[in-house]
Amino acid sequence: MKKYNIAVVGATGAVGHEILKVLQEHELPVNQIKLLASERSHGKKMVFQGREHMVEKTAPDSFEGIDIALFAGGAASKEFGPEAVKRGSVVIDNSSAYRMDPDVPLVVPEVNPEDVRWHKGIIANPNCSTIQMVVALKPLHDAAKIKRVVVSTYQAVSGAGKEAIDELELQVRQISNEQQAKAEVFPYQIAFNLIPHIDVFLENDYTKEEMKMANETKKMFHDDNIAICATTVRVPVYRSHSEAINIETEKLLTAAEAREILRKAPGVVVVDDPANKQYPMPLYASDTDEVYVGRIREDISCSNGLVFWVVADQLRKGAATNAVQIAELLIKGNLINR
């Protein structure tokens, strides 16, 4: 079996750690691994496949001989993505830098795997909250054509990085000790609170995160006519995002039919037994690759509507796992042309 030289950019961050973990679990045919990060991480040591590797500072020549460059996200994507492509690497990027570029495919393997075929060196990984939503939506869209989506997200603090996790932990201790909770990462206290604000506000009063969900879904579904309205909320949960989704379809789809369609859908696990209080929760979705769907029911406010609840680990399926799955598509399709 052919093996590939792979670089992970941002290897020392939360998503970088997950990428290395998933690469090992999925047994990708790795010949050499190169761990790259910023200057402050240069010289750190990390273990991959039982061997210790030194983290190097990312530079343009870091990509010489690299087949696949997995970018964990951040400013490095804009600075070094094109440099990697110049040197013959295929870039799989977790940042938002290229997602809406018409020359860059935006891919979720369960949704639009065919789009990897027209890549020109860079493939974008969608926003984490978009990924789990479209994995659940696509089989229903194929069956009944979705006209409208209304989604509210309940997003874990780890989506904002390790500093956000630390802040939640600190605030819980402060409040337990009857101290004033200090907010630095988030605009307000997140412990025992909800913040209906993720990313910056735009002129239309939606946040950038909310518009990402709408615009990215349209791009991957190749359908600009689908109406999508999102409200994104940060919640005091460490890991795994949850979403309440309401859809309206052109064709009538019963809850029972939707349940059966989703049970057969790739990457989806249906957990839907209200009588026995069985439904998806972040507690059980964390550290897994699947998208969990439950609370599937017909919308009593319209004739062709469905309502359901979706949970997934945003560090894995929402970032690292999706990126590794894209790499698997490239290898399977022989789409890495050094």
Tens of pLDDT, residues 173-219: 999 999 999 999 999 999 999 999 999 999 999 999 999 999 999 99
Identify whether residues 217 and 143 lie together within a single domain. Answer: yes
Residue 130 in contact with residue 316, Cβ under 8 Å?
A: no
Range of the domain at 77: 4-125+319-332
Report if residue 45 sits inside a domain: yes
User: Does the active-site annotation cover 241?
Assistant: yes
223/157 same-domain check = yes
Q: Establish if 337 belongs to a structural domain.
A: no
Residue 132: both structure tokens together: 């789990």
> Are residues 100 and 49 located together in one domain of the fold?
yes
How many independent structural domains does the chain possess? 2
Same-domain pairing of 20 and 86: yes
- Looking at the fold, whether 292 and 310 belong to one and the same domain comes out as yes
What pLDDT is stored for residue 15 in this prediction?
94
Domain presence at residue 338? no
Same domain, 254 and 268: yes
* Residue 26 is a catalytic residue: no
Q: What is the DSSP string of 209-273?
A: HHHHHHHHHHHHHT-TT-EEEEEEEE-S-SS-EEEEEEEEESS---HHHHHHHHHTSTTEEE--B
Report, as ranges of residue numbers, the positions in the chain whose pLDDT lies below 50.
none
Same domain, yes or no: 241 and 220: yes
Catalytic residue among 53, 119, 128, 141: 128
Nearest to 291 by CA among 274, 313, 273: 313
Specify the pLDDT at position 162: 86
Q: Are residues 77 and 174 in the same domain?
A: no
Question: Looking at the structure, do residues 274 and 326 belong to the same domain, yes or no?
Answer: no
**Residue 302 domain flag:** yes
pTM confidence score: 0.96
Identify the active-site residue in 17, 119, 141, 241: 241
